[in-house]
Amino acid sequence: MKKLPGGIAPSEITPREVYLSRRSLLAGALAGGAAATLPAVAEDAPPAERLNYTLNREYSVNLKPTSFEDITSYNNFYEFGTDKDDPKANAHTLRPRPWSVTIAGEAEVTGTYHFEDILKLQPLEERIYRFRCVEAWAMVIPWVGFPLGAFLQRFKPTSRAKYVAFTTLYDTRQMPGERYPILEWPYVEGLRIDEAMNPLTLLVVGLYGQVLPNQDGAPLRLIVPWKYGFKGIKSIVKIAFTERQPPTTWNIAAPNEYGFYANVNPHVDHPRWSQATERLIGGGFFSRQPTLMFNGYEQEVAQLYRGMDLRRYF
């Protein structure tokens, strides 16, 4: 486990050996159900605690958030099954603590870091964002997290860092859906560096003020509010700076249906359905509403795509 950039004292960081031994203790405890390892288990047990955060009004929409129940029971997270209610039923096998994230690629500072240490780096903020799934349904979600851009800057990306690539955990015991070749595992996603640095792009660790539930991508997920939901990769274990555009899972699965950019765009339809409107979850019957360009974040992000043919780069 390496020292994090940003003035964290080495003493604050758990030595790698301790962390690894704790991990094996935990594995042992889970395998044998031994009570002797209680201290380690207690420390690593997934906390259902509330987070400390402040609401960022500037970046929040003034809309009524979708209910916690709907946000946590209507999920696309194929690592736990392909039905919307599968993730809630099955995600208990995921162990979001302890967790570590590897930063790699075209940056001066790279290494593997404790999730807890990453959390300490910056204050958390709440942002109420629109959420638009490529399947033409939408939510309003009060995320808790921190901006990806400022976080990435700590690792001093080099001039060759043109893209950022993300990887989800690959572990068929924790994520049983990865046993089925429905998608290519592990799930991978990517952003252009300027998209990653946009202040709207968020690394999320919670919702509704609570630690992120497993089915929503615990412990760390990406949210890019002007893009379709599948860009918001969940349960991230690796972030790499790359020179070339990284492969992305849904694009590999169906390149004519899901592009690298996946910007919300009511004028560019999915080959099989219209993207002009969306069903707002929790709105009951007659909840169809028009979809907004860049999901309503046009002012903030339109300049990123100036001069690009959005039909071609969908």
Partner 1 sequence: MLSVDKRYRFIYKPVVFVASLTPALYLAAGAFGLFGLSLGADPVAHLLHSCGKTALNFIFITLLVTPVRRLSGFTHLLRLRRMLGLFAFFYVVCHFFVYLVLDQVLDLHAVLQDVTKRPYITIGFTGLVLLIPLAVTSTQKMMRRLGRRWQRLHQLIYVVAILGVWHYYWQVKRDIREPLLYIFMLSLLLGYRIVVRWQTRRRVTSKSGSATAQERI
Q: Binding segment for partner 1 among 17-25, 44-52, 274-282, 295-303 (CB under 8 A)?
A: 274-282
Token pair recorded at residue 173: 């015991």
Q: Which of 34, 182, 302, 308 binds partner 1 (CB under 8 A)?
A: 182
For 198, phi and psi rounded to 5 degrees? -60, 135
Q: Binding segment for partner 1 among 1-9, 16-24, 71-79, 216-224 (CB under 8 A)?
A: 71-79
For position 312 contacting partner 1 by CB under 8 A, the verdict is: no
Q: Binding segment for partner 1 among 46-54, 144-152, 221-229, 281-289 (CB under 8 A)?
A: 281-289
Cα–Cα separations (whole angstroms), residue 282 to 64, 200, 216, 299: 10, 25, 17, 27
Closest CA to 229 of 253, 199, 255, 263: 263
Q: In this structure, are residues 22 and 42 in contact, taking their beta carbons and an 8 Å threshold?
A: no
| Cβ closest to partner 1, residue 138 vs residue 196 | 138
- Footprint of partner 1 on 83-112 (CB under 8 A): 84-85
For position 68 contacting partner 1 by CB under 8 A, the verdict is: no
Q: Give the Cβ contact number of residue 128 at 10 Å.
A: 19
Q: In this structure, are residues 19 and 123 in contact, taking their beta carbons and an 8 Å threshold?
A: no
Q: Which of 286, 299, 306, 307 binds partner 1 (CB under 8 A)?
A: 286
| Cβ closest to partner 1, residue 285 vs residue 306 | 285
| Cβ closest to partner 1, residue 184 vs residue 243 | 184
Q: In this structure, are residues 225 and 130 in contact, taking their beta carbons and an 8 Å threshold?
A: yes
For position 194 contacting partner 1 by CB under 8 A, the verdict is: no
| Cβ closest to partner 1, residue 100 vs residue 265 | 265
For position 82 contacting partner 1 by CB under 8 A, the verdict is: yes
Token pair 């044998």: residue:
32
| Cβ closest to partner 1, residue 116 vs residue 135 | 135
| Alpha carbons 186 and 198: distance in angstroms, whole number | 26
For position 172 contacting partner 1 by CB under 8 A, the verdict is: no
For position 171 contacting partner 1 by CB under 8 A, the verdict is: no
CB of 86 to partner 1, least distance (A): 10
Token pair recorded at residue 139: 């939510």
| Alpha carbons 97 and 176: distance in angstroms, whole number | 18
- Footprint of partner 1 on 102-161 (CB under 8 A): 135, 137
Residue 112, helix vs strand vs coil: strand
What's the CA angle centered on 239, arms 234 and 240, to 5 degrees? 145
Q: Which of 92, 287, 298, 308 binds partner 1 (CB under 8 A)?
A: 287
User: What string of DSSP letters covers 123-176?
Assistant: --EEEEEEEE-TTSEEEEEEEEEEEHHHHHHTT-B-TT--EEEEEE---TTT-G
For position 252 contacting partner 1 by CB under 8 A, the verdict is: no
For position 23 contacting partner 1 by CB under 8 A, the verdict is: no
Q: Which of 1, 61, 276, 310 binds partner 1 (CB under 8 A)?
A: 276
| Residues making contact with partner 1 (CB under 8 A) | 69-70, 73-74, 78, 82, 84-85, 135, 137, 182-183, 253-254, 272-274, 276-277, 279, 281-282, 284-288
